[in-house]
Amino acid sequence: MKKKNANKWFGIAASGALLAGLVQVAPSFAATHKAAPRKAAPVIHLTLGQWSSSPAEHQLVLNQAALFMKENPGIDVSVRVVTGNYLQVMQPMLASHTAPDVFYVDSSYAPQLEASGVIMPLNHFIAQDHVAVKDFYPNLVKAFTYRGTIYGLPKDFNTLALESNPALLAKAGIKTPPATWAQFAVDAAKLKAKGIVPISFPIDVARYYPFIRDMGGSYYNTSRGLATFPNKNNFAGLNWFMQMNEKGYFVNPTLQGASWGGQVFAEGRAAMTAEGAWIVPSQQSTAPKMKYNITNFPTLNGHDSNMVYTVAYEMAKATKYPAAAAKLLFFMTGPQALAMTAKSGIAMPARKSQEPLFLKDWPSYKAFVNGVKDAYPYQFGLLGQNFVNAINNATQAGILKHQSAQTVLGNAASTLSSQSNY
């Protein structure tokens, strides 16, 4: 009897212990790098947080920080690279006031951080330091403005363009890549007849949202912070996108066993794809010999809506040296630092004044720069990832089950409402 009890309690304790073990998620830091040796004794020590992308980007940040220290001998900056899931590592640090003073923030979750009061509002500092906010592309600044207050300044951005493989297009007798999606549909029929996948394009709101906007719809009311899925203005755009998928003109990369369009494109298994400038380094490493063209994201219904993915520098509210941190933030998003970004070609600088410099060195990026004009920042307020998951799952299921746009949007709305506020 006693043994049985012991066993039972062992079972209970074991399940409890295992359950608790789940919480042990390991956030990790790579080594903290000193940007450069300094001469004068530093008075203030700041930390700058970035996620790990490429060694080239890390080097760029180190160089920018070194220049800042040269100009501000009283401030010492070390760059901290967060490895692993960036947001997940930053959250506990922000909550416990141990986050870096200045750090990267992606537009997709910026409102969630800004609303929770862990980010320093910048309006006061911007006025004090006379920062020319007008030099930034306005929709980028808007992505880091929450309820009228600016919380971050954008450092760079990315938009969508059309990448096409001239060799595959020629097989179907197509000489120039389509400039409109109507022309695309004509070309796609020809390509499909030759057994070529016309375009590798994911069923993801992050990519197809321009079609909704081109057709006069909107999934999100920015001023009220509400999702507006079941609205008849959205039917036309979504219907068009779903039809393109059902006809096999748009093919989801996962259907071809790939994780994104660039992979299918590099393997020559699709004539076109519509990705951001990140496809350029990827093409260089996976298909260096392949010839391809980058042209403007085609227009639909006479509109040239696009998506913009942008990253800002924001400042922790808990920073010990707000004035110095603001100085660093403004430097890192300032003309000098962004000129270095432009030279490096790693990303497109967020300041309009840097555009000529950037395009002089990187003329092939013209289509991406063109895209920013009528681009919507990839961001759905506080609804964040729940919004994206709800609409993506509903759209994927809708295309699979041949549902109507109305049903898809209704499903997305009901899923989202069950997820919010918990």
Site for another protein, rule CB under 8 A = 1, 3-4, 7-8, 11-12, 14-20, 22-23, 25, 85, 87-88, 91-92, 94-95, 112-113, 116-118, 254-257, 384-386, 389, 392-393, 396-397, 400, 414-415, 418-419, 421-422
**DSSP assignment letter at 26:** -
Q: Smaller CB distance to another protein: residue 54 or 417? A: 417
Contact, 243 vs 182, CB < 8 A? no
Cβ atoms of residues 273 and 344 within 8 Å: no
Q: Where are the alpha helices (DSSP H) in 247-348?
A: 261-266, 279-286, 322-332, 335-344
| Nearest distance from C-beta of residue 30 to another protein, angstroms | 18
| Shortest distance (Å) from residue 116 CB to another protein | 4
* DSSP-based three-state secondary structure for 62: helix
Query: What tokens appear for 321 in the block?
Result: 């040296």
Shortest Cβ distance from residue 60 to another protein (Å)? 27
Angle formed at CA 332 by CA 30 and CA 103, multiple of 5 degrees: 40
Nearer to another protein, 236 or 255 (CB): 255
Nearer to another protein, 118 or 212 (CB): 118
CB of 110 to another protein, least distance (A): 13
Alpha carbons 29 and 26: distance in angstroms, whole number: 10
Q: Which is nearer to another protein, 195 or 363 (CB)?
A: 195
Nearer to another protein, 236 or 382 (CB): 382
Q: Sort strands 102-106 and 199-200 into parallel, antiparallel or unpaired.
A: unpaired
Q: What's the rounded Cα separation, in Å, for the pair 303 and 216?
A: 9
Nearest distance in Å: CB 54, another protein: 20
Note whether 137 and 296 are within 8 A (CB): no
Residue by residue, DSSP assigns 168-197 as HHHHTT--S--SBHHHHHHHHHHHHHTT--
* Residue whose CB is less far from another protein, 60 or 266: 266
Provide the minimum distance between the beta carbon of 142 and another protein in the complex, in angstroms, as a whole number: 22
Closest approach, Cβ 11 to another protein, in A, equals 5
Query: In terms of CB distance, is 80 or 317 closer to another protein?
Result: 317
Q: List Cα–Cα distances, 162 to 107, 125, 194, 262, 285, in angstroms.
A: 23, 39, 21, 11, 19
